[in-house]
């Protein structure tokens, strides 16, 4: 009986010890949890952008403010977004109502026609290794077709060995006072053209090759005729990208996706629902 009492005492002691450990863990859930970013830091500003707040942050902000994936720089009093190896200037205010940000290529000259320094198209987003992606080219808005509408359209700069006579092509040599835009290199003369909208392989031409692809959110009508002024306005306006997908988990549970309703309120839904 003495042996049984001792054994039982040991079991009771072990059970009590485990119970105490479990109670301690439950009472202190933050011991092993990572520190969360602060969504309520005071907004930052740079140049004419005065509403840099969660999820965005400036490099100079405290580390616990904003989301590092949405870090911006303030350079020469201009707000800069580095994206896919390119440098882009943030235009006007960041839109926290429809979760978009509009940017323009840093190589665009607002006073005269110029072409972007970087090539940018939808294929850039396929190279994102993070999931969910930080930015998307479409607005996560529920539509009757169940497809998310794109926030911008494409522009393509192509060079050709021979002149192209097509209403779909704008000869960029007519956009400058000199003929420098006609040359890809000093060794051979090539002709440069810009095409707005979707481009199919058949549209490229046998003697042409794509040099760069851009995006623009400039509103325009259905007039197929484009001018140098049109192209300049579209490039200077820049393009919008959405950041809602990247912070969806701030609104919805894991395993769900979020979208905007007609009132621009975030809604959550299960995948496949």
Choose the weakest-confidence range: 1-15, 150-164, 189-203. 1-15
- Which residues are 78's β-sheet partners? 75
Domain-embedded: residue 8? no
Per the CB < 8 A criterion, the answer to whether 54 and 42 are in contact is no
Domain-embedded: residue 169? yes
Say whether both 159 and 64 belong to one domain: no
At 12, the pLDDT band (50, 70, 90 cuts) reads: very low
Q: Mean pLDDT score of the chain, rounded to an integer?
A: 77
Nearest to 67 by CA among 253, 254, 250, 263: 250
Top pLDDT among 21 and 47 is at 47
Choose the weakest-confidence range: 67-76, 173-182, 190-199, 216-225. 173-182
pLDDT in tens, 132-167: 788 999 888 876 566 788 899 888 888 888 888 777
At 81, the pLDDT band (50, 70, 90 cuts) reads: very high
Name residue, tokens 């190279």. Answer: 127
Domain-embedded: residue 98? yes
Say whether both 216 and 104 belong to one domain: yes
At 184, the pLDDT band (50, 70, 90 cuts) reads: very low
- Whole-model pTM: value is 0.76
Top pLDDT among 203 and 195 is at 195
Say whether both 75 and 210 belong to one domain: no
pLDDT in tens, 204-263: 556 788 888 899 999 876 666 788 888 899 999 999 999 998 888 888 887 778 889 888
Say whether both 127 and 259 belong to one domain: yes
Say whether both 153 and 188 belong to one domain: yes
Choose the weakest-confidence range: 110-119, 135-144, 185-194, 223-232. 185-194
Per the CB < 8 A criterion, the answer to whether 88 and 250 are in contact is no
Choose the weakest-confidence range: 34-38, 94-98, 131-135, 143-147. 34-38
- Cα–Cα distance for residue pair 85/257, rounded to 1 Å: 28
Domain-embedded: residue 56? yes
Say whether both 176 and 254 belong to one domain: yes
Domain-embedded: residue 156? yes
Say whether both 90 and 74 belong to one domain: no
Domain-embedded: residue 26? no
pLDDT at 128: 61
Question: Within 13 Å of residue 112, how many CA atoms lie on the same side as its CB?
Answer: 6
pLDDT at 90: 96
Say whether both 257 and 123 belong to one domain: yes
Last residue of a domain, one of 83, 113, 144: 83
Say whether both 129 and 140 belong to one domain: yes
Say whether both 249 and 264 belong to one domain: yes
Does the pLDDT of residue 120 top 80, yes or no? yes
Structural domain of residue 105, as residue ranges? 84-270
Phi, psi for 195 (deg, rounded to 5):
-125, 135
- Cα–Cα distance for residue pair 63/54, rounded to 1 Å: 12
Say whether both 145 and 43 belong to one domain: no
DSSP for residue 145: T
Domain-embedded: residue 115? yes
pLDDT at 169: 81
Question: Considering its fold, how many domains does the chain have in total?
Answer: 2
Does the pLDDT of residue 182 top 70, yes or no? no
pLDDT at 273: 52
Say whether both 77 and 116 belong to one domain: no
């Amino acid at each position: 009986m003495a042996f049984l009492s001792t054994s039982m005492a040991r079991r009771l002691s072990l059970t009590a010890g485990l119970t105490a450990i479990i109670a301690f863990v439950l009472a202190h859930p933050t011991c092993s949890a990572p520190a969360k970013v602060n969504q309520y830091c005071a907004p930052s500003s740079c140049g004419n952008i005065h509403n840099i707040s969660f999820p965005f942050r400036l490099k100079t902000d405290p580390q616990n403010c904003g989301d590092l994936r949405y870090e911006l720089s303030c350079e020469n009093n201009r707000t800069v977004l580095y994206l896919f190896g390119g440098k882009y200037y943030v235009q006007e205010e960041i839109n926290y109502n429809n979760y978009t940000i509009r940017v323009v290529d840093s190589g665009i000259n607002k006073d005269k026609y110029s072409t972007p320094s970087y090539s940018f198209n939808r294929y850039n987003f396929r190279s994102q290794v993070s999931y969910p992606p930080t930015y998307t080219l479409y607005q996560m808005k529920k539509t009757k077709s169940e497809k998310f509408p794109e926030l911008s359209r494409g522009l393509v700069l192509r060079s050709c060995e021979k002149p192209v006579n097509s209403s779909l092509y704008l000869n960029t040599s007519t956009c400058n006072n000199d003929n420098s835009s006609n040359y890809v290199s000093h060794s051979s003369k090539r002709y440069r053209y810009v095409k707005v909208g979707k481009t199919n392989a058949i549209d490229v031409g046998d003697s042409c090759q794509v040099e760069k692809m851009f995006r623009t959110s400039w509103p325009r009508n259905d007039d197929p005729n484009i001018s140098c002024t049109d192209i300049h306005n579209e490039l200077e306006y820049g393009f919008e990208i959405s950041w809602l997908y990247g912070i969806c988990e701030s609104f919805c549970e894991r395993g769900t996706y979020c979208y905007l309703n007609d009132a621009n309120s975030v809604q959550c839904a299960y995948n496949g629902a």
